[in-house]
Each structure stands twice: as structure tokens, then as C-alpha cells.
Structure 1
Amino acid sequence: MGRVTDLVLVLRYRKAVTYGFHTLLAALEEHPTDTRYEVVFAESAQATIDAITAAGGTRTLVLWSFYSPDAAALAGELATIKAAAPGATHVAGGVHATAEPVQTLDAGWDVAAVGEGERTLLDLVDSGGDPAGITGLVYRDGTGRLVRTGKAHKAPLGTYRAFPLTYKRMNPIEITRGCVYACRFCQTPFMFSAKFRHRSVENVRWHVDRMRELGKRDVRFITPTSLSYGTDGEEPDLAAVEELLASCKEGIGPDGRVFFGSFPSEIRPEHMTVDALRLVKRYCANDNLIVGAQSGSERVLEAAKRGHDVESVRRAVRIGIAEGFRINVDMIFGMPGEDPADAEASLKLAQELAALGARIHSHVFMPLPGTPWRDAPPGDVDPETIRAVSRLAQQGALYGHWQKQREHATRLAAAAVEYPRPGRSRTLLPLADRPTTGSEPPQDR
């Protein structure tokens, strides 16, 4: 490892979860601690085994983060790693561990990190890897007794950097955490709470300036709903959005680009107005937008607590196309309680929007842990709908991994039976070394 260490942090580093790891590394690189630690990026099961073996007798935490659909496959990988390289403590964070901590322990992890993980990780490092007394954790003690240490600490979003400078691993800037739209199928509001916390414009600009210094050209954002930036409620604050976008465009410079309302975020349909889209056109480089529709059935939208109607979706697509954007529309088939009439309504809306020039990003309902619909049956899509969706895909009007999601949904339902939970819980554990600059981002205290 190159120097004497008290603690080795092995990140089970997978492409699907790099943003969460980067956030934790960013918190750790600013944190003064007496613990001498090393960080290892393990991009495969074998690399994880090798890192544990190389650590020798040094206390080792293997940090995992994963979504619910990945939990079963990673539990199998975990068993392989523990058999080949015993002695490490395996800590699971992310949305699944937050929603199902006991199930996560039963699947083989030693500790589940519940709630927001920045402070939890810092405390773990300070303790040399000992979980005793650290809030935000669930584990079993030496007698097998289940220990819950209480709620994880929540801080204003700008308290910690959005990405680490030490490793120069950039990612989209998280500008909003939490969501006031408590959709019954979504883990976000139940993981971070159903309210918005925004990173300030000054704090975001600090990150953009660092990106430009490091030669990065593209600025993207992580947010559950792009046009909710700066607001506490359901009405967009376009002045706040413009301040954000103008500052980012200035900061990234004439050779850089800003992307807003496209991957990895989206725009709610009722927020799509001519004024809003012209702001995006003025400051941003993206020619496409993602709109969350989810269903073409008024009844299903109301049951899901989406907070908008079908006509809002139609209007959003028309406005977006009229303003020159390519529109991608998220839709979920097989929602709980969906009957043939609801499925037909969704299919007709998808066909109507495709005829206007939109592309449909199709999903199948998955009963995600931690959501009000976690006990609902997996999405059941009838054969005729499947044929119609397939025809849209063949025409290039529809895309997505909906077939694979049907398999994931079935596995999630089976896991809920195999590992019944006694109650519910709450995100994110998993990471570094020292910062490379003395300047700090403005903090949102």
C-alpha cells in the first residue's frame, strides 16, 4: 500500500454507481482525520479479492452501493468474494440498503448504511472502521442482536463537494436532493425526504470553475426535476433557473457546453412552458429533453400521485417540439391496479406522441423497496401491449430495457417473499486522500 495505514477502503466500483462513490470521496477528501487510510478502486470481483488480500492484517472495509434490481446478483458476487478473501467488513449503501437494511444483512453484507452517507462515512473513518455508536448504520453485534444506530445526519446540500478533486473523477453536479412529488413508485422522496434541498448557484459555479481548470467541457446536473431548481414547492422559479444556467455557461467558457433537462435528469410535463424552454435554448447545448409522463391513464396518474394529468403531457410534447427540441417521454407499463383500459390509454398516448415526433422511453413497473408500492405485484404487461410496444421499437419510436425490467420486477417480488422485512427504513454509504487545492466551494449552511 506504500505507507503505514490504519484502514483500507475498497470501493466495489461499478459504472452504475460511480456518482454516489464520488460524492462520498468528495466529503472524505476535505475531512481532517487521525486515521491513516488508503482507497482502492476495485472494478471487478477479482480486483476486490486482490485488494482485500493485499491489505493483509490491516482493517478493511469493502464499500458497496447498488440499486434494488442489482441486489440479488451482487449478493452472489459478495458470497464469492467472502469465500476467497475472508476478514474484511462489507458495508452496503445505496437505495436498496437504505430501504431494506435487514434484508441486506440477511443477504450477506455485514453492515447496512441507512440514509445519506457523507457524515456516516466520515465517522466510520474516524473510528478506524468500527461501526459502534455511529448513526446511520444497521448491523448485528457479536451475539447476533440487530443494532440500529438511528437516523443518518442530513446537511445542507452544499456542505460537501459534488465530486472529488483528488482523483479528478468528474460527474454531473447534484443541484437538488429530495423531491416534493412523492410518486408512489419512486425511491427518491422516501430516501431523501419529500422536500427539495438545492445547491446554491455560487457553490455550483465553484464546481464548474474547477471543471474548466481540469479541461472538462460539459456541465450536466443531477436532479429529480430540473425546473424545480431554486423552489420549495411545485411552481418553478425561472429566475433561479436562469441565474444557475447563466452562471454555468459563463463559467465553463465559450468552448464548453451546459446540458439541462436531458440525461441524467428530466423535466416534469406541467413545467414545460415556452418561457422555460427558451431559457434552456439560450444557455444550453442540448437539443433533446426528457419528460416524465409515466402513464396515459388519468386514473393511474392519480393513484401514483404524479401531480399532473395526461393533457399536461400532450401539451409538453407539443411545446417542446415547437421550440425545436427532440422529446423523450418516460412511460411505465404495468403499474399497480392498471387494467386493460388503462394499458390501452397508455399505449394510445405513446402512439400519439410518437406520431408527433417524440420518442418513448419505456419501462415496466418494478416494486421498489422503500416506496409505498413496494408490496405491489411486478408489472404485468399483456401480450397485445407487448406486441404494440415492440412495433413502436421497430419503427425507432420507442427504446428502453423494458423486457429486462420485467425480469427484475419478478426477482424483486420474489426477494420480498424470501426476505420479509419487519419494518421500513432509510441512503448512501460507500469512501480517499487529500484535496489538491486550498480553495473551497461556497457552502450552503
Structure 2
Amino acid sequence: MALAVDVVVRYRKAVTYGVHALLAALETAGVEHGLRLGTTVEETAAHIAASRADRVLVLWSFYSPDADAMAAELAAVRALEDRDGVLHIAGGVHATAEPQQVIDAGWDLAGVGEGESTIVALVEALRGGDPLTGVPGLALRDADGVALRTRPAPQLPLDAFPSFPARRGRFGPIEITRGCRYTCRFCQTPFMFGGQFRHRSVASVREHVREMAGHGLRDVRFITPTSLSYGSPGPGPDLDAVEELLAGVKEELPPHGRVFFGSFPSEVRPEHVTPEAMRLLKRYVANDNLIIGAQSGSDRVLAASGRGHDTSPVRDAVRIAVEHGFRPNVDFIFGMPGEQEDDQEASLKLAADLADLGARIHTHTFMPLPGTPWRDAEPAFIPLATVRELDRLAQRGDAYGHWRKQAEHAARLAETAKAYPRRTRRRRTG
């Protein structure tokens, strides 16, 4: 006889997109009864305590800067849950990159890689009383306390699962591309999802939009590492594929529906911003801004980071975007490894020039993120002169961002990296 399994999700605004993908996978697999969302520590613990199932699986997802805070929440939930048969699993980019750290922090399991097929297989194994070593994409604690990895989870086509659980009435941006061929050394995306693009089909996107329109929603946004790469296998955009996507979405929306593309939560690479691309967007999109990734004003730093472009297309992109009626929001990262004073001066100069052209500067501090080639890299020092100039741009309304908070996260991540050397012992089972 199958065991009863309830699923409780620690549901947080910061990770709704990823959690929605897991909920959609469970919904597709028919796992809806006994699924509860905990929006606070207390509510999560209450759902666990109220369950009468044989096992309760508690899902957590978080980014690397939140790992310490989530470990504290886990301890608080465990102190309140007051029952046996509970398994806590952490997933997302941090758990994928640092399963040993996650296991040591108190989670029973870590999800490694893409979570949809793993979570469905895990629930099925718990229902059947089967060994969890047969579930792909997990890390489990062995007798020595080492995170024991099962076989990798498959990377399925995006059409295999929806982006959000429509039957639960929870919607959000539609993930249209997963993976990224631009393997920037500071970014977790290509190292978790692979260095190639996988695109959702236009037919699947249209199905998502029909669901949304049927529930009275009229705004559509997208999740993609680089918006104008949709439909393309390589570095250059496929504007015919982009137009097929946008035209199809518009056809599914009511007359007052709006399409947002190239704005939050996505971005556009600077070399993709051409007059032809901007004219295409103006025919279909409602957003009046674009997010453009510059990252540095130093060609040397850009080359070292693996960005795949220098500074020349950044100026062109801002000028072209403004000429076509978009306000660019341009990302800059300060403190990248090996960055020198003259590199920061070049970034500040470019940022000021772009602001004069009509852009807003989105400032970031480099963080040595787990799973990236720069996980163990030392952040460059950001001198007081750079800080003052960033403050001046912000006071003028030309810059915004949480770079100070990111600097605090960077310091903690650097300490954690030292405690968990990259060569930490790994074992595999299954």
C-alpha cells in the first residue's frame, strides 16, 4: 500500500518563479492534494504539524546570499514542527553548487540541478517507500556526513513542464529560455542549466498566455537570460523567431493586453540592440525601458569575465535604444576580481556618459557566487572615491541598486568558500 505524502513549501517572494516551476511539475504529475504553502516560519511549521500523512516533504529554495538566513529559518521550523517523518530538501542554484554546505546546515536533502523531474520522482519514491538513492538529482547525507550524490537529473525540453501552476491560480513570467551559451565567470545560470540555450516553443508559450487570459490577466512577462536570443542556438539573435513569439502572444491576449519583453525579469545583451531589433520591439511591447548588461567599462575586465563583448556595443546600444523610445537600465558590477583603480575609473566614466545619453545605471557589487568559475575569487577593493561617485550618480537620479548590501553578502560568501574548498570530497550513488 502506498504511503501518504504531504508536500509543504516554504513560499517566499524572492524565489516564486523557481517555486512555481516545481509546483507546476507536481501539478502535472497529479500531486495537488496535501500541498500547502507556508509564507512564514510559523505557518510552515503549522502545516507540517497539522499533516496526518506518513511523510511530509518540505521544499526550500533560496539564492546563495540568503543561505545563512534560510538555515536559521530551518532551525526555527524544526523546533516547531513537533512530529516525525519530516524531510526537508533545499533546492535552487545554491543547493546545486554547494550540496555539502546545505547538508551540513541541517537539510536532509539537497536538490542538485533542475528540480522538476527530481521533485516528481522524489514524491513517487516516498509514496512507494523506495530508496531515495534511486531518485536523480539529489544529494543525501551518508554515514560519514558526506553529501552523497545520486545520478544527475535529466535536462528536459522546456515544454515538458509549465512555468507556473495555473490550476492553483498562481501565475508569473513565462520561462522561454533556459541555459546560456554566454558563460560569464560571475554568473550561476550557465553553470546550473548548461552552456546552451533551450527554448520553449511558441505553441507552449501561447498555451500559457491563454491560461493567463482565461483568468483575467492581461500582462505577460518572460524569464530568459538574454531576451533577443529567443529561438537562436548561437550568439546572434533570430529576430524572425522573436517576432513569431511576440506576434503569437499578442494574438492570445485580449485587445487591452500588454507584452513586456527585455525588461525585468529579463535583459538584453548590448550587441543585440540594433535599429532593426528595436523597431521590432516597438511594434509589440508595452515596456518603455530595456535592461542592458554592460557589467564594466573596462575592456580588460570584460575579457577576463568572459562577457563576450567589449565596451563599444554598450554605448551603441544605449544610443540606439534611446533613439527608439526606450530608457536603458544598464547593469554595472564593481569589484570584479583583478579590477584595478583605472578599471573602476573607466566604469565610472562610461556610467556617467551613458547617464548623459539618457540611461539609468543599475549598480552591483561583485559576489563570489558558488558554482561559478569565480567562486573562490577575491573581490576587488572598492575605494572611497568610487563609493562617492556612485552616491553622486544616485543622488542625481541616474543610478540605483543595492550594491552596499551585496558587498556584505560578498564578504560572507568569501568566508564560506574558504570553509568549503572546491575540492570537498564527493561521492556518487545509483
- TM-score normalised according to structure 1 size: 0.91
Give 1:88-167 correspondences, 5 Å limit: 88-128=86-126, 131-141=132-142, 144=145, 146-167=147-168
Residue 81 of structure 1: how far off its partner (Å): 1.5
Matched, 1:20 2:21: no
Residue 29 of structure 1: how far off its partner (Å): 1.2
Report the Cα distance in structure 1 between the residues aligned to 2:48 and 2:421, rounded to whole angstroms. Answer: 32
Aligned to 1:84: 80
Deviations 1:27-80 (A, max 9, x none): 1112157xx851110001111111111125631111000000000111111112
Report the Cα distance in structure 1 between the residues aligned to 2:425 and 2:270, rounded to whole angstroms. Answer: 31
Matched, 1:209 2:210: yes
Q: Secondary structure at the match of 2:68?
A: helix
Report the Cα distance in structure 2 between the residues aligned to 1:412 and 1:11, rounded to whole angstroms. Answer: 26
Deviations 1:295-354 (A, max 9, x none): 000000000010111010000000000111111000000000000000100010011111
Report the Cα distance in structure 1 between the residues aligned to 2:165 and 2:420, rounded to whole angstroms. Answer: 36
Matched, 1:9 2:4: no
Contact 1:326-1:358 at 8 Å conserved across structures: yes
Kindly provide the amino acid, as one letter, of the partner of residue 227 in structure 1.
L
Report the Cα distance in structure 2 between the residues aligned to 1:132 and 1:264, rounded to whole angstroms. Answer: 36
Report the Cα distance in structure 1 between the residues aligned to 2:285 and 2:147, rounded to whole angstroms. Answer: 50
Deviations 1:384-443 (A, max 9, x none): 000000000000000000010000101111111233343599xxxxxxxxxxxxxxxxxx
Report the Cα distance in structure 1 between the residues aligned to 2:144 and 2:346, rounded to whole angstroms. Answer: 55
Report the Cα distance in structure 2 between the residues aligned to 1:272 and 1:105, rounded to whole angstroms. Answer: 43
Give 1:247-266 correspondences, 5 Å limit: 247-266=248-267
Deviations 1:194-221 (A, max 9, x none): 0000001111111111111110010100
CA spacing shift, 1:424–1:340, aligned 2, 3 Å: farther
Q: Secondary structure at the match of 2:393?
A: helix
Aligned to 2:270: 269
Give 1:32-431 correspondences, 5 Å limit: 32=30, 37-56=33-52, 58-85=54-81, 87=84, 88-128=86-126, 131-141=132-142, 144=145, 146-423=147-424
Give the number of equivalent residue pairs. 420
Aligned to 1:430: none
Report the Cα distance in structure 1 between the residues aligned to 2:175 and 2:124, rounded to whole angstroms. Answer: 26
Residue 5 of structure 1: how far off its partner (Å): 7.6
CA spacing shift, 1:233–1:204, aligned 2, 3 Å: same
Contact 2:228-2:237 at 8 Å conserved across structures: yes
Q: Secondary structure at the match of 1:338?
A: coil
Residue 357 of structure 1: how far off its partner (Å): 1.1
Residue 25 of structure 1: how far off its partner (Å): 1.3
Residue 109 of structure 1: how far off its partner (Å): 0.9
Residue 141 of structure 1: how far off its partner (Å): 3.7
CA spacing shift, 1:143–1:329, aligned 2, 3 Å: closer
Report the Cα distance in structure 1 between the residues aligned to 2:353 and 2:331, rounded to whole angstroms. Answer: 14
Kindly provide the amino acid, as one letter, of the partner of residue 170 in structure 2.
R
CA spacing shift, 1:100–1:144, aligned 2, 3 Å: closer
Report the Cα distance in structure 2 between the residues aligned to 1:186 and 1:143, rounded to whole angstroms. Answer: 32
Q: Secondary structure at the match of 1:127?
A: helix
Which is bigger in relative contact order (C-alpha 8 A, separation at least 6)?
Answer: 1
Report the Cα distance in structure 1 between the residues aligned to 2:422 and 2:72, rounded to whole angstroms. Answer: 20
Report the Cα distance in structure 2 between the residues aligned to 1:351 and 1:174, rounded to whole angstroms. Answer: 33
More displaced stretch, 278-287 vs 379-388: 379-388
Identity of aligned residues (%): 60
Kindly provide the amino acid, as one letter, of the partner of residue 126 in structure 2.
G
Kindly provide the amino acid, as one letter, of the partner of residue 100 in structure 1.
E
Report the Cα distance in structure 2 between the residues aligned to 1:60 and 1:294, rounded to whole angstroms. Answer: 43
Residue 368 of structure 1: how far off its partner (Å): 0.2
Q: Secondary structure at the match of 1:132?
A: helix
Residue 147 of structure 1: how far off its partner (Å): 2.1
Q: Secondary structure at the match of 1:241?
A: helix
Runs of 4+ residues over 6 Å off in structure 1: none
Kindly provide the amino acid, as one letter, of the partner of residue 413 in structure 2.
L
Report the Cα distance in structure 2 between the residues aligned to 1:364 and 1:407, rounded to whole angstroms. Answer: 9
CA spacing shift, 1:92–1:261, aligned 2, 3 Å: same
Q: Secondary structure at the match of 2:166?
A: coil
Contact 1:99-1:424 at 8 Å conserved across structures: no
Contact 2:90-2:110 at 8 Å conserved across structures: yes
Kindly provide the amino acid, as one letter, of the partner of residue 232 in structure 2.
T
Deviations 1:153-175 (A, max 9, x none): 11111111111122111110000
Residue 254 of structure 1: how far off its partner (Å): 1.0
Report the Cα distance in structure 2 between the residues aligned to 1:415 and 1:368, rounded to whole angstroms. Answer: 10
Report the Cα distance in structure 2 between the residues aligned to 1:44 and 1:220, rounded to whole angstroms. Answer: 27
Residue 26 of structure 1: how far off its partner (Å): 1.1
Q: Secondary structure at the match of 1:337?
A: coil
Report the Cα distance in structure 2 between the residues aligned to 1:197 and 1:255, rounded to whole angstroms. Answer: 30
Deviations 1:59-116 (A, max 9, x none): 1111000000000111111112212225321100000000111111111111000011
CA spacing shift, 1:386–1:424, aligned 2, 3 Å: farther
